[in-house]
Amino acid sequence: MILGLVQGLTEFLPVSSSGHLAILNLIFSKEVAGGVSYTFFLHIATLIAAGIYFRNDLRDLLVCWLPRNAGMVEARRLFLLLIVACLVTGPIGLAFDGYLQDMSDSLAWVACGFFATSLVLVVAERLAGSPRTDELSQLSWGSAALVGLFQGIAVVPGLSRSGSTIAGGLMAGLKKEHATRFAFLVGLPIIAIGALKDGIDLMQGQLTLPPWPVTLIGFVVAGISGYLAINWMITRLQRTNLNWFAVYTALLGAVLIGVRLMRG
């Protein structure tokens, strides 16, 4: 339940789900926390939650390519913008893939990721008051690539994916609500690909899950909390100062550095 709640909330709030799960793995040990295999399963729950919330957007992105919907120009352009962003994100994620486990096991790396999240959120909040693009579909191809770049570097544990991509959208001139929606939509393919990769490993016997009652509880909690987190971000973020999240992640980073120094 704890892992499901943490995954569901932190996947979409700008505070880094990977950093929080790394902390829980350090607290409970990997054997208790379920390690990578259980984390992957919780990602499926949050993916489903996001798919349900953005079902109308996803439907438009799919049906816009039907011949009878040739007039859905904005949806088609948004679809292509998402592809551009993901094409930038993918190679960066692959480049970091071999180092992520060691980074997740390092208090120093996770702390640095949290500090980077704080910096990104502070910069994003300063940019939020000067949007240059009225509609999401008006985003330029280069700006979409910039968002993809920010999402790519957010594979570092402790560096928030949603926070980074929202910041990238704001730097590209989007309004805060449009930057948030684009950040969530562009994250869906990446989460899905990661879940698919680990799902294949699970079927091949390289990963294992806890007993099904435990797995099911975490899955349900992650899905419900993830849906609520998305709803809050979309409806309330415009009136919320990102600096509060920056303070929170900076404090987490400081605590981890303190723990690292005490361990020697």
Render pLDDT for 29-57 as a digit per residue (tens, 0 to 9).
655 445 555 777 788 899 999 999 999 99
| Cα–Cα nearest to 242, from 138, 164, 187, 183 | 164
Residue 209, pLDDT above cutoff 80: no
Of the ranges 99-103, 129-133, 181-185, which one carries the lowest mean pLDDT score?
A: 129-133
DSSP string of 97-158? GGGHHHHHT-HHHHHHHHHHHHHHHHHHHHHTT---BSSGGG--HHHHHHHHHHHHHTTSTT
pLDDT value at position 120?
Answer: 94
Mean confidence (pLDDT) of the chain: 87
- The verdict on pTM exceeding 0.75 is yes
Q: Which tens digit of pLDDT belongs to each residue from 51-110?
A: 999 999 999 999 999 999 989 999 999 999 999 999 999 899 889 888 887 888 888 999
pLDDT: is 135 or 255 the higher one?
Answer: 255
Classify burial at 71, counting beta carbons within 10 Å of its beta carbon; exposed 0-12, middle 13-18, buried 19 or more: exposed
pLDDT value at position 35?
Answer: 54
Q: What are phi and psi of 133, to 5 degrees?
A: -125, 125
Q: List C-alpha distances in Å: 235 to 11, 81, 172, 198, 221.
A: 17, 23, 21, 32, 21
Confidence of residue 128 (pLDDT cuts 50, 70, 90): confident
* Mean pLDDT value of segment 139-167: 92
pLDDT value at position 30?
Answer: 54
pLDDT value at position 254?
Answer: 95
pLDDT: is 161 or 18 the higher one?
Answer: 161
Q: Using a pLDDT cut of 90, give the percent of the chain over it.
A: 51
Q: Using a pLDDT cut of 70, give the percent of the chain over it.
A: 94
* Mean pLDDT value of segment 114-126: 94
pLDDT value at position 223?
Answer: 95
Residue 241, pLDDT above cutoff 80: yes
pLDDT value at position 33?
Answer: 47
- Which residue type sits at 209? L
- Domain of 214, in residue numbers: 2-263
Domain count, the chain: 1
